Amino acid sequence: MRKIALLIEYDGTDFLGFQLQGQGRTVQGELERAIEEVTGTRSRVAGASRTDSGVHAEGQVVSFRTESRLPPETLLRALNFYLAEDVAVKAAREIDEDFDVRRRAVSREYAYTLAVGPGRTALHRRDAYWVAQSLDLKAMNGAAAELIGGKDISSFTLAGESGRSGRRRVYRAELERRHGDLIDFVIEASSFRKQQIRLMVGTLLEVGRGKRSVEDFAAIVAAAEPGLAGPAAPARGLCLRRVNYREPLFATGD
Amino acid sequence: MRKIALLIEYDGTDFLGFQLQGQGRTVQGELERAIEEVTGTRSRVAGASRTDSGVHAEGQVVSFRTESRLPPETLLRALNFYLAEDVAVKAAREIDEDFDVRRRAVSREYAYTLAVGPGRTALHRRDAYWVAQSLDLKAMNGAAAELIGGKDISSFTLAGESGRSGRRRVYRAELERRHGDLIDFVIEASSFRKQQIRLMVGTLLEVGRGKRSVEDFAAIVAAAEPGLAGPAAPARGLCLRRVNYREPLFATGD
């Protein structure tokens, strides 16, 4: 029995999220189907980060066990042949039997993309959220900085979420202009809870529109109480860019 | 009679290019149809840059004459209502009757996006070209620098193209890592001829793969002879980012 890790990219638009459900198309379901086509046996796929319905990934990491003797490069090509065009294997390698891709991850990096301007976006309609009003980026970055450090970020969880600790280490949280009217909110933390980043973006947008001050935002963070955040921004702007491990699992561009 | 300028974005995947043709879906055709819906009269649309079939735009500029008295903000909203989701008006304004959006443009900025890695791309399948081999970016940037300045860049035109002067001013030509495995070739020049950037990218890829040296590339530029370039890279990676005028026409993000 071998354990294989895959680096996965997907356009989340037409998926009901990463995780297998009773019904509907999921990334995990697609991967398990393709692995069965290639290896002849059903394998359970585990993911490093559970992305919600409509959320994209450029660097999801998954693993599965198989008795197949196919080399990783062959698995990569064969899986990409059987997968639909909106999900792809970008790299493949063998890992230790006891390496858990979720528990061993030291951080997850996500980006939430905004297209800001009076008219809607066309080219980025699947991977950015259009905001018509101009935004005070300086204020938004001031607010985002409040997230950095070892913080209880429970305010950015849905009201009524269970009482697990909300303490996380946030390594990075900033808004960057890409080019033209595109702005990326990039955040890296030890881990995230359901809808957490979309609730952060919804609240940061209130700051950017002048509906909340940076001080308000800081007070929301400090309260550490579920349900205080602004409305969740839509899923389509969010992308899991990268899962980090103590030692890089895959040789990639950066 | 007024003249209106529009800032246009489109996903070129399902268009046979910008310019109206006898048959098939074009950006110009879509715009003229929407303008007729909104104003009640047919208007001819002129574009600043003719993008080929499959090429995208984030910052195309077009103009049309109309007797409509609708304010630009109303035109913008009404046009976006009638346009399909893969083309959008991002900004609208009135311009002088004698302002020619093509002739007055001082430069065009394009980006060609590569997704580099062993497995194909999924999220960027419509707007990037997947390259499986790793690339020597330093060599590619050395070659790209040969394009900068006042140069006859006729070598990057199709064999048999007519004998108009190939002399252009190239202000910028460089490869930039975006994040992960994405690389943008950004080029800004006074103007371009048909397929010119895709022929440049095809030739730069030969340099990146070690099939051509930077000196070879420099010799191809110096020869200024149509037909010498490598094969054209596919349209899907190319995007018209911005058209520049002496005075900015639209207030945009950068």
**Start and end residues for every CATH 3.30.70.580 domain found in chain B:** 2-104
Determine how many CB atoms are found less than 10 A away from the CB of residue B42.
Answer: 10
Q: What is the average per-residue pLDDT within A82-96?
A: 98
* Confidence band for B143, pLDDT divided at 50, 70 and 90: very high
pLDDT at A160 (0 to 100):
73
Share the mean pLDDT of chain B. Answer: 95
Largest CA distance in chain A: 59
Mutate to test the interface with A, among B9, B62, B130, B174 (most CBs of A within 10 A): B9
The answer to whether the CB of A62 falls within 8 A of the CB of A48 is: yes
Q: Cα(B170)–Cα(B165) distance, rounded to whole angstroms?
A: 15
- Lowest-pLDDT choice from A94-108, A149-163, B47-61, B195-209: A149-163
* Burial classification of residue A213, based on how many CB atoms lie within 10 Å of its CB (0-12 exposed, 13-18 middle, 19 or more buried): middle
**Start and end residues for every CATH 3.30.70.660 domain found in chain A:** 107-242
Per-residue pLDDT at A254 exceeds 60: no
Chain A residue set in contact with B, beta carbons under 8 Å = 7, 9-11, 56-59, 73, 76, 80, 85-92, 111, 116-123, 125, 127, 177-183, 239, 241-242, 252-254
Q: pLDDT tens digit string along A43-52? A: 999 999 999 9
ipTM for this prediction: 0.94
Enclosing H/E stretch for A66: strand A56-66
**Which residues in chain B touch residue A109, judged by CB atoms under 8 angstroms apart?**
none
* Confidence band for B180, pLDDT divided at 50, 70 and 90: very high
Hey, what CATH topology would domain A2-104 get?
Alpha-Beta Plaits (3.30.70)
pLDDT at B163 (0 to 100):
63
From the list B76, B125, B254, which residue is nearest A177 (CB)?
B254
Q: pLDDT tens digit string along B75-94? A: 999 999 999 999 999 999 99
CATH number for the domain formed by residue range(s) B107-242:
3.30.70.660
